[in-house]
A and B are shown apart, each in its own frame.
Chain A
Amino acid sequence: MTWRRRQDPRVQDELRYHRDRMIDDFVAAGMDRKAAERRAFLEFGNVAHLEEQVRDVRGRWLADLGNDLRYAVRTLRRSPLFAAVAILSLALGIGANAAIFSVINAIMLRSLPVAEPDRLVLISRLSETGRPLYVPVRLFELLRDNLKSVSGIAALATLRQTAIIDGEDELVNADMVSGSYFDVLAVQPAAGRLLTPADDVISTETPAVVISDRFWRRRFGRSADAIGKAVRIRNRVFTIVGVTPPSFPSLRPDRTPDLVFPLQPLLTDDQRRSMDLNNVMVMARLAPRATLAQTDAEVQVLYRGFVELQASMDREKDRPAILAQRAAATAAPDGFNPLRYDYGRSFLILMGSVGLVLLLACVNLSGLLLARAAARQREIAIRLAIGASRGRLMRQFLTESLLLASLGAGLGLLIAGWLARQLFLLFLNGRDPLMSVAPDWRVAGFTAAVAAACCFLAGLAPALHAVRASVNPALKEVRGRGTGRLGQSLVVAQLSISMVLLVGAALFIGTLLKLQRVERGFDPRGVLIVGVRSAQPYPAARIQAVHDALLQRLRALPGVDAASATLMLPVTGSLWDRTVQVEGYRFRDDESDAVNFNAIAPAYFKAIGTPFVSGRDFSAADTATSPKVAIVNDSFARYFFANGDVLGRHVTAAGVTFEVVGVVRDAKYQSLRDRVMRTMYIPQPQRDGTVQPSSYNYLVRVAAGDPQRLVPDLPRVVRDADPALRLQTARLYTAVIDESIGTERTMATLGAAFGALAMLVAALGMFGLLAFQVARRTNEMGIRIALGAARGSLVALVLRDVVVMVAGGVVVGSVAAAMTTQVAQTLLFGLSPTQPAVFAIAAAALALTAILAAWLPARRAANIDPLVALRHE
C-alpha cells in the first residue's frame, strides 16, 4: 500500500532517535553504556505507548482500519469453518431482510414514475378501516366540474375482456380512462399520440385506443403498422392511435394494462347515471401552491352534497347508511395501490419476524465471537500490557465483525432480488405479477444499515468483554470466571427471541388449521371449475341456448356425476345482495332487509355438494316464463320462518315474487372467515337482465378420480357448444379454496420456517454453551464423583442451568410476544393473539428443543471417569 508508506510519519523512528541521543549524552557525561541505556529507558518510558499517543493525536483511523481489516482477514482465514458459518448465516439473515424490504419498498414506498408524484392526490370513498374505495362516475364528474384546488383530475376503471385484433381474439387487461388522464399524469407517448378529452365522448364515430409498450412488443413486435389498426371490444370498434411509454404502467402500480380505452364509449347507461355503482378511481394533481388540506376540505363539502342527494332519492331506511359514508383526498404518490392494503400488514409482520431471525443470528455470532475472544484473552492481555489502548482494541474487534457483516450483506444482496420475487409470487398465489419487486437504491441503503446494525450487535459484546479483561490473571493463565454469565445471557436472549417467533408460528398455523376445518357447507373434492369467454357478447336471445348447450355437453363427459353453473362461487369473495320483502315477516326499522342472491342452473347443489334440507331442486322446467321459484339456505329459513313451514312461502325482490320450493344447508360465499349470510337462490333463466356465459362459473363433479383428466377435452367441448365460445380457465375447486386462504397458508409456512430456524439456532447456542461448560468443569466433576457424588446429581447440575435458561427465555419471550402479537389480530382466525394454549405449545416446543440440545452434554457429564478427569488439567 504505497499511499500508506508515503504518509507514514515514522513516529517510532523519531522517538528512537530521541532516546538514542539521550543515551549518547549520558555516555558523553561519563556514564557507562549499560547504565546510560537503563537511565534512558526509565526516563523515556514505553516507546510503543508514546507512539500510540502520538498516532492518536494525528488521527489515524483510516490507516488503522486498513491494518485491522488485513488482520481480520488473516484471523478469519485461519478458521475457515467459523468464517463460513458466520458469513453464510449473516448472508441468509440479511438477504431475507433485504428481500422482504424489497417487496415492502415495491408495494408501499415506491412512487409512480411520473412527474412530481408528490402532487398527486387520490380522491376516494373510505372503508371502515380507511382503505380507499372506488367511486361512482357521477361523483367524478361532480369533482371534475367543481374542485378549484387541483390543476387536473382523472378517472380510471379496469377491464378484463376479450378483444379482437386482425380477426384474432384474445383476453386482455385494459384500463378505461377519462380524457384528462395522460395530461394529469404528464405522460408522453412512445409512438403516435395518447388520449385527449376529445376522445372521451359518447360518439358514433370510431373512437381511439392506445396500447401499452408491453402489448406493442408482444402483439406487433413494435411495428409502426400497429397504429391505425382496429380493436373490437364489447361490440364496438376502436382505432389504435398511439403507444404509452414503457416506464409508465398504470395509475395502479400493481398492473400493466395491454390497452387503454377512453372511458365514455365503454360505460353503460347504468354506470353513467347511478349514484351507487362504484366503478372508477379518481386521481387529481394539486394546483400550484394549493395544499392537500385545501383539496380535502373541498372534497368534504362536495361529497356531503353528493350523499345527501343520494340519500334523498333512496328509502328512508337506507339513508343513515348512505350518509355515514366517508370520502377523503389523500396524498398518493404511489397511485391507487390495493397491494398496500392487501399485503402491507403481512409483509410488515414478516419484516418483524425476519428481523428477529437476523437478531438471533447476530446473538449467535456474538456468542461465537465471545468464545474466540476468550481464546484470545492472553493475546489481548499482552497487548494491553505493552500499551495498546482499550478503545483501539475494541475498534479492532469491531472491524472483525464489520468484515463479517459486510461480506454477509454483499452475499445477502445478491440473493435478495431472487428471494423477493419468490416471496411475492408466493403471496400472489399463481396470479400474474404485473409489477417488479427488484431491489433498488433504497433497498441497498436499507441493507447497508442492517449490516451496520449487525456489526455492532454481534461485535460489541465480545469487544467489551475482551477489553474489560484484567491483565494479570490472563497473563498468568489463571482461569477466570470467563464467559459463563455473559454466555448464559446470550442463550436466554436466543431462547426469548425463539419464543416470540414460535408464538407467531403457532398463531398462524392455528389460524390455517381452523380455516381448513371450518364448516363450509359444500364439498370441493372432485370438482372442476370451468370458465369460458366469447369473442363477442351474445345477443340476449341467444344466451340461454349457448348456456344450455354447454351444460349438456359437460354432463355428457365420461365419469361426470353432475354439471351445473353458478353466478357466485363460494369463497371467491363475490357477493350480490338485494333487499326483499318476506311473506309473514315484518322488518324492524333498524333491521337490514338485504339478503344474499345467487343465480344457478339445475343440479347445482349436487355438483357443489350442498345437501338439501327439504324441498326440491330447480329443473329444466323452471324457465323465464314459468312461475318464479326460489331455494333458500338454512340461515334464511330459520331467520324468517322460525315457526312454521318454509316451502310454499313467498319472497319478493325488485317487484318479482318467488315461491320457496326448497331449503339447503348453509354455505360460505364471501370467504371461509365470514359468517354465513341469509341466502336466496333463483333459477338462472329467471334472473333479470342479460348475463353472458362468461360471467358464470361452470362446475363439473366427477364420480371418482382426478377431475383434471377432463381438461384435455374441454377446449373441444366448449367450441362444440358454440363456435365463438372459448375455454378460459379449468381449475380444481380445491385449488381455488386453497388460493382463497393463500395469505394464511404463506404466513403459516413462513412462520413455521422462521420458528424452526430460530429453535435450531437457539439449540445450537445452548448446546455450545453447555458443552463448553461441561468441558471446563470436567475436573470439578471428576472430584465430585471421586468423593462419591451420584452420577444423577451431575446430570442435575447441567439440567439446572437448562431449566433456568429455558424459564428465562419463556418468560421474557412470552412478555415480548404478548406485547406484539396484537399486530397480527386481523390476520388471525378463531384464535386470539394472546391465546394461552398457543403460548403453552410454543413454550413446550422450546423446552423440548432445549432438552434435546442439553442431552449430549448432560450425558458426557454423567459418564465422566474420575481418573481421566483428575488428570484433565
Chain B
Amino acid sequence: MRSESPKSDLLQGTLDVLILKIIALGPVHGYAVAQRLQQISRDVLQVQQGSLYPALHRLEKRGWVRAEWAASETGREARFYALTREGRRQLEDQRANWMRLSTAVTAVLETE
C-alpha cells in the first residue's frame, strides 16, 4: 500500500491558504488547482492528490468554499470550487498572517 503522507514541502497549514488563493482567481476544479499551483510557483510547489482532495473537502465543510458540478473546458463534467464570503475573509486573514511571518523570517535569516 502506498504511503499517504503528503509529499509536498509545504509548511503545515499553508496548503489551505494557497488553495484559497487559487480558487479566489475564479471557479476551478481540483485538477486545475494542482496545475495552477505548479505553474504559478514555477514547479517549486507541487501538491499530491492525497492532500489536495481532503483539503478541498475540508474547506467545503468549513463553509469557506462551495462546490458545484459544471462542464469543464474539455466538455466533461467536473466539480468546480468557488470562494464563499467567509472564505474570502479567511484568505485575507491568512494571507496577512503569512506575509507578516515570512517578512519576519526573512529579516532574521538575512541578519549579518
Contacts and interface: CB of A to CB of B under 8 A. Distances in A.
A54 interface: yes
B78 interface: yes
Interface in A369-392: 387
Interface stretch (B17-25, B49-57, B88-96, B97-105): B49-57
Contact of A50 (B50, B58, B67, B79): B50
A720 interface: no
Contact of A53 (B31, B54, B72, B77): B54
Given A17-B79, A46-B1, A54 B31 contact: no
A584 interface: no
A56 B34 CA distance: 21
B79 A10 contact: yes
Contacts of A387: 1
Contacts, number: 62
B61 A15 contact: no
B53 A14 contact: yes
A772 interface: no
B61 A53 contact: no
The A interface, classified by DSSP as helix, strand, loop or mixed, is helix
A306 B67 CA distance: 83
B78 A14 contact: yes
A46 B54 contact: no
Nearest to A55: B57
Interface string B55-99: 001101100000101001010111100000000000000000000
A24 interface: yes
Contact of B58 (A20, A24, A57): A57
Contacts of A9: 57, 67, 79
B27 interface: no
Contacts of B74: 21, 24
Interface residues of A, number: 24
B79 A58 contact: no
B61 A59 contact: yes
B49 A50 contact: yes
Contacts of B77: 13, 17
A45 B50 CA distance: 9
B78 to A, nearest CB: 5
Interface string B36-51: 0000000000000110
Interface in A25-45: 44-45
Interface string A192-212: 000000000000000000000
A18 interface: yes
B112 interface: no
Contacts of B31: 17-18, 21-22
B4 interface: yes
A14 B67 CA distance: 11
Contacts of B1: 46, 49, 387
B79 A54 contact: no
B61 A57 contact: yes
A102 B1 CA distance: 54
Contacts of A44: 49
B3 to A, nearest CB: 9
A384 B88 CA distance: 40
Contacts of B57: 9, 11, 54, 57-58
Interface string A328-354: 000000000000000000000000000
Contacts of A45: 2, 49-50
Contacts of A13: 77, 79
Contacts of B60: 58
B61 A58 contact: yes
A218 B58 CA distance: 69
Interface string A157-177: 000000000000000000000
A53 B4 CA distance: 10
Given A54-B57, A57-B57, A59-B61, A18 B2 contact: no
A678 B45 CA distance: 103
Contacts of B54: 53-54, 56-57
Contacts of A58: 57, 60-61
A508 B78 CA distance: 74
A386 to B, nearest CB: 10
Contacts of A11: 53, 57
B101 to A, nearest CB: 26
24 contacts: A9-B67, A10-B69, A11-B57, A13-B77, A14-B53, A14-B78, A14-B79, A15-B49, A17-B30, A17-B72, A18-B30, A18-B49, A21-B31, A45-B2, A45-B50, A46-B1, A46-B2, A54-B53, A54-B54, A57-B61, A58-B57, A58-B60, A58-B61, A387-B1
Closest 10 CB pairs of A and B: A14-B79, A21-B31, A45-B2, A18-B31, A57-B54, A57-B57, A54-B53, A17-B78, A57-B58, A54-B57
